[in-house]
Structure 1
Amino acid sequence: MKILNLILVLSGLFTISTNAQDKLEQDRKAIKSLADFYKVNFNYAEITSPNPDYQFSKPYRSHGNEWAEIVVDEPRRIVIQHMLAIDDSTVIKHWRQDWTYEDTNIILYTQDNAWKKGNLTAADVKGKWTQKVYQVDDSPRYQGYGTWSHVGGHDAWSSETDSPLPRRESTVRKDYNVLNRGSRITITPNGWMLEQDNKKILRTPAGDKLIAVEKGYEEFTKTDSTKFTYAQKWWTIQNTYWADVRDVWAEVMNAGDTFKIKTTAKGKLLYETLFALGDQSIKEKWSASENKEKVKAAIQPYLIK
């Protein structure tokens, strides 16, 4: 009887382990399906406010062609770089999303372009994936974690976290300083959807004040890859430099418990400085160590002590 019980216990443990591994592979498959060639539609609109006299902003709509390329594919970490293809001769290195399984290291946005390290336990992140989103210059934007679900053939993931103002409002809005993002990613037959329920918050020492609530949809629909020929050529030349930039930013974020970034220094935006440095790196054929040394020096004026 004891031997039989032992066999049953071991069999149960094996089943649990196998199911967990199958779930992990389902998660990885869903994340990797985010990478492809897309036509993207952006739609955002404020839908409510606690202030009866609030003047709702005009709905925002935009579209573009975006290529999402997997640049790191490890068992517990997947990195996807997005590129906007403007035309046959112009590409913008766009946002980046890093997915890490059961990651206890997270950077939390506070306000006014400042971040602090968060403390997550193994229990907090068990079975969960952290999505770390970065700006065009590879500085951090926001990080959230949640569980991928695969129910009835539908793949979805959701999280809630604070972030800076969206780029479309960062230079025109002064009435709030934190965007609390409620994000849900759903895989669709022809791509994927990012649905957002966002709270626009004014954060002060007295606490948080809700200004308005915004609904957002970003629809990624697969499209013809030939629209991205120039973007692919550009990235083939540039990707090594940007890998070095990612390494430098990782060092910056690991150096202390908090850090703060200013968007301009010496009359230039941070992304302008790093993009120009990338072109120079290609032209002068810098090594990885030279790239990192020059990127470190370039970033320093943008860091607030």
Structure 2
Amino acid sequence: MIRFSKSLAGVSLAALMMVASPSPALADDPVGDRSAQAEAAAFEADRADILAMAGDFRVSFDMKETTPWRADYEPIDAKVSGGFESVRVIEDTGRKIVLQHLLVVGSEDNPFIVKHWRQDWEYEPEQILVYNAPGRWVLDDVPEAMRKGRWSQTVYQVDDSPRYAGWGQWETTNGVRRWRSNWTIRPLARRDATRDPVYDHYVSINRHQPFPGGWIHWQDNTKSKWVDGEAVPYVQESVLNTYTRYDDYPVSAADEYWEATSQYWAAVRAEWEASLSKTGGIVIEEEASTGTVISGDLLQMGTDIAKGEMDTNAAIAKAQTLIREGTGATRTAASTEQGSDAGY
């Protein structure tokens, strides 16, 4: 189980960011005035970059602890892994784009689909859903001066529960397009949480950048531990996930899975949203392998639907109950090995 200082539960996000980083939690300066034509052109260019993250990919996950911030800490060995991932646009309203990642594992003859992470992009948001404390995500205001011309990215875990969120501007620097987030606080990824390390959360800058033939997701993570309400840094980590367009794997298996389960997962997303609307946040116990204590059950029901072994409506009813009972309650559940060690 991921452990944090109990004193953190009542600390505001603004206070967290003050102890997590000596600099303001803002990224860049406010977007300056520009003509309506320039504004529209920038908006369409941003949308094109976001939508270009959809497709079929060979993915490499390159994770390396670099600089230790304490004399008594020894960085762990670098880890490089990979896989195949299909990314699908499941919602596009113009100002909001939702991308669902589907991890394809197994063999050519017997592929297995893991519903992976999800990223929601929203233009000029007023609020984002941020990680605030162990097992708790809250709505936080985006500074009014930093909304214009910017997009938020909210990342969700494999069971559609929240993981982290940030906001930033798509821009061209030295001829290279990029989106860079503000500082974000996020729970440990599976690759770390399952090891029960000394640190217990990340403070991160998140970047997305297109390149010819794909895109990269680059994270600059300060691995830290809450001690008496203060974030103590242990080590810096660089995570570079590279998505290279490639379709010589069972792509059809990913689409068949999504066709069979999309109604179920839409209901799961709606139930998380309902919980958020009722309380202004999400509270649920974390679990090292998959993120939350109900994640294993939610994932398994998706697999059972795809195999024709469970009725969609029955799965939806059970998922709704799990989310309603799990949010705001302290529960335990068995660990599951479904998931990925990717640094999303």
2: CA distance, partners of 1:64 / 1:172: 22
Structure 2 residue corresponding to 1:271, chosen from 295, 310, 326: 295
**Quick check: which one's strand share is greater?**
1
Code of the residue aligned with 1:150 in structure 2: it is T
Q: Which whole-Å deviations, capped at 9, do the CAs of 1:190-217 have from their partners, x for residues lacking one?
A: 1001111100111233411111111111
Q: Which whole-Å deviations, capped at 9, do the CAs of 1:224-254 have from their partners, x for residues lacking one?
A: 2553111111111111111111111111122
Whether the 8 Å contact between 2:178 and 2:208 is mirrored in structure 1 is: yes
Displacement of 1:286 in angstroms is: 4.3
Q: Which whole-Å deviations, capped at 9, do the CAs of 1:93-144 have from their partners, x for residues lacking one?
A: 1000000001112112123222222122442211110000000000000001
When residues 154 and 222 of structure 1 are mapped into structure 2, their CA distance, relative to the original with a 3 A threshold, is: same
- Secondary structure at the aligned position of 1:147 is classed as strand
2: CA distance, partners of 1:300 / 1:171: 26
Q: What does 1:19-98 correspond to in 2, within 5 Å? A: 19-87=38-106, 88=108, 89-98=111-120
Structure 2 residue corresponding to 1:234, chosen from 257, 270, 275: 257
Whether the 8 Å contact between 2:84 and 2:249 is mirrored in structure 1 is: no
- Secondary structure at the aligned position of 1:44 is classed as strand
Whether the 8 Å contact between 2:261 and 2:305 is mirrored in structure 1 is: no
1: CA distance, partners of 2:235 / 2:137: 23
- Secondary structure at the aligned position of 1:51 is classed as coil
2: CA distance, partners of 1:36 / 1:302: 34
Structure 2 residue corresponding to 1:296, chosen from 307, 314, 320: 320
- Secondary structure at the aligned position of 2:250 is classed as helix
- Secondary structure at the aligned position of 1:295 is classed as helix
- Secondary structure at the aligned position of 1:149 is classed as strand
So what's the TM-score if we normalise by structure 1?
A: 0.87
**Range with greater deviation from structure 2 (252-261 or 235-244):** 252-261
1: CA distance, partners of 2:281 / 2:258: 32
2: CA distance, partners of 1:197 / 1:121: 23
When residues 53 and 276 of structure 1 are mapped into structure 2, their CA distance, relative to the original with a 3 A threshold, is: closer
User: Is residue 215 from structure 1 mapped to residue 215 from structure 2 by the alignment?
Assistant: no
1: CA distance, partners of 2:239 / 2:143: 31
Q: Which residue of 2 aligns with 1:9?
A: none
State how many pairs are aligned: 286
Q: Which residue of 2 aligns with 1:6?
A: none
Code of the residue aligned with 1:31 in structure 2: it is I
Unmatched tracts of structure 2, length 5 or more: 1-33, 330-344
Code of the residue aligned with 2:231 in structure 1: it is D
- Secondary structure at the aligned position of 2:219 is classed as strand
When residues 51 and 28 of structure 1 are mapped into structure 2, their CA distance, relative to the original with a 3 A threshold, is: same
Code of the residue aligned with 1:176 in structure 2: it is Y
- Secondary structure at the aligned position of 1:37 is classed as strand
CA RMSD in angstroms, aligned pairs only: 2.1
Q: Which residue of 2 aligns with 1:11?
A: none
Unmatched tracts of structure 1, length 5 or more: 1-14
Q: What does 1:91-130 correspond to in 2, within 5 Å? A: 91-130=113-152
Q: Which whole-Å deviations, capped at 9, do the CAs of 1:45-94 have from their partners, x for residues lacking one?
A: 11112212212112121100001000001110000000011134311010
Code of the residue aligned with 1:212 in structure 2: it is V
Q: Which residue of 2 aligns with 1:136?
A: 158
2: CA distance, partners of 1:231 / 1:293: 24
1: CA distance, partners of 2:92 / 2:175: 24
Displacement of 1:275 in angstroms is: 2.4
2: CA distance, partners of 1:233 / 1:283: 15
Displacement of 1:280 in angstroms is: 5.1
1: CA distance, partners of 2:246 / 2:142: 39
Larger CA Rg, structure 1 vs 2: 1
Q: Which residue of 1 aligns with 2:170?
A: 148
Whether the 8 Å contact between 2:271 and 2:320 is mirrored in structure 1 is: yes
Whether the 8 Å contact between 1:200 and 1:210 is mirrored in structure 2 is: yes
1: CA distance, partners of 2:104 / 2:316: 27
Displacement of 1:177 in angstroms is: 1.7
